[in-house]
Amino acid sequence: MNDIYYNSLCDLFGDFHNIDLNRLDSNEIKQFVNILDHYGFWNKFSAERIDRKEDYIKTVCKGQIKNIILKLLNSKTILESFQKLITSIRKRNGYYEAILFILIARVSKLDLDLEDLAYSLNMSQLNSPSFQKDPHVREFVDFNTYSIKSKSSIISQVLLQQIFDSTIVVDVMLSIFRNLNAHRHDEKIKRILKNMMMFTNIQQTINKDDANYKHNILRYYENIKPLSSCNKNPHFWLQYAIVKLSEYDYEQAQIYFDTAYSFAKKIENFDTYQIDNHYARFIIENEIKFGTKATCMQAFSYAHSILMDPKHKTEVRYYPYRVAQNYYPFYERFYKELSHKEQEIFIQSCFEILKRLKSYLETTTTASDRTDVKKSEKNLLRIFKELNITYETK
């Protein structure tokens, strides 16, 4: 979300400095230990020394508030208390689906009011004072004048993945999507639908360890595919291509990328940077798995040209650097088979992408938190180390 809003904030305020409130310094870690001691939240860790507790937050929780809360919420006692609340809500007509949608909305960063909720679920009774005043509902939901939301995005994610059945979650999401599709020309609804297409959002709402995880993901996309908000939408086809990439189904991914580009060309001034970067990832991954000495360098050079395209030079867009993780697997697979000239081209390409990656890390204050970007940097430097080449920032 920071990356999405960074440019618009720059336009409003000029240069500014980001402070990551999720990260704890050593003094804040000590304060967190005291809070957890005070409320008795350490469970089996309660009798440990203070320094052991501090080390636990630093290492296991990586010094992050989100990870501390996730550890707490996954305790058996807390999950059971939430389960009891949800069981009581199931007895109230429509409330269960409403709570489920509010949790999904928080994880997927949707902005809902009661009217949105009511016609998303086609339940007018939700737009009433009795729903807002229900004490069980208020355990999960924060109501204010302009919108409704779950009290915590972290709690929402834990509940969706640990308590709610993934098949029911997808059933509710499909019902909501179909209802909202009828209002797709409304700008707000259009934004909600776009977020509900995003694979990263769907992933966060379904437990990956669920035996039906893969089936439910595919069922979701197959069922929304024919809807008018999706069938000619390049954003939808990109998301479906990403789903296929995650399953290593490169043949189907190619078809969906082609479809995304085809519809994008029909839209005036459509920015294809997201499609381009995922397509570059597809090209390299597909070549690593199925490529040959004869085809590999042409494919790599094409993918690299996409990542280095000047239109992707906006520093806060991390997509090219995420894709660059694959340079090392490509190097392992093909480098020794390349001609001397091809090896020189490959090394130069690594220099080019690393130089821009370094610039991204220096200019974007939250960039160091992106594990994929850091992995790309590590992989590129590893190539130079193994080839005994010194990298110097110019």
Distance CA 59, CA 63 (A): 7
20: domain range?
Answer: 2-73
Structure tokens at 215: 């089936």
Establish if 192 belongs to a structural domain: no
Q: What is the DSSP string of 280-319?
A: HHHHHHHHHHH--TTTHHHHHHHHHHHHT-GGG--TT--H
Establish if 234 belongs to a structural domain: no
Work out how many domains the chain is built from and give that number.
2
Could you tell me how many residues make up the chain?
394
pLDDT in tens, 145-192: 556 666 778 888 888 888 888 898 899 899 889 988 988 888 888 888
Of 28, 57, 73, the last residue of a domain is: 73
Question: What's the sign of the alpha-carbon dihedral 76, 82, 83, 84?
Answer: positive
Structure tokens at 305: 């040209």
What pLDDT is attached to residue 143? 74
Can you point out the beta strands (E) in 168-312? Answer: none
Establish if 195 belongs to a structural domain: no
Establish if 98 belongs to a structural domain: no
Establish if 103 belongs to a structural domain: no
Of 73, 92, 127, the last residue of a domain is: 73
What pLDDT is attached to residue 2? 60
pLDDT in tens, 80-130: 888 888 888 877 777 888 888 888 888 887 777 777 777 777 777 677 778
Of 73, 94, 121, the last residue of a domain is: 73
Establish if 158 belongs to a structural domain: no
Distance CA 126, CA 180 (A): 16
For the chain, residues with pLDDT lower than 70 are: 1-8, 10-11, 14-18, 125, 144-150, 311-317, 364-369, 392-394
Establish if 371 belongs to a structural domain: yes
pLDDT in tens, 315-325: 546 778 888 99
Establish if 366 belongs to a structural domain: yes
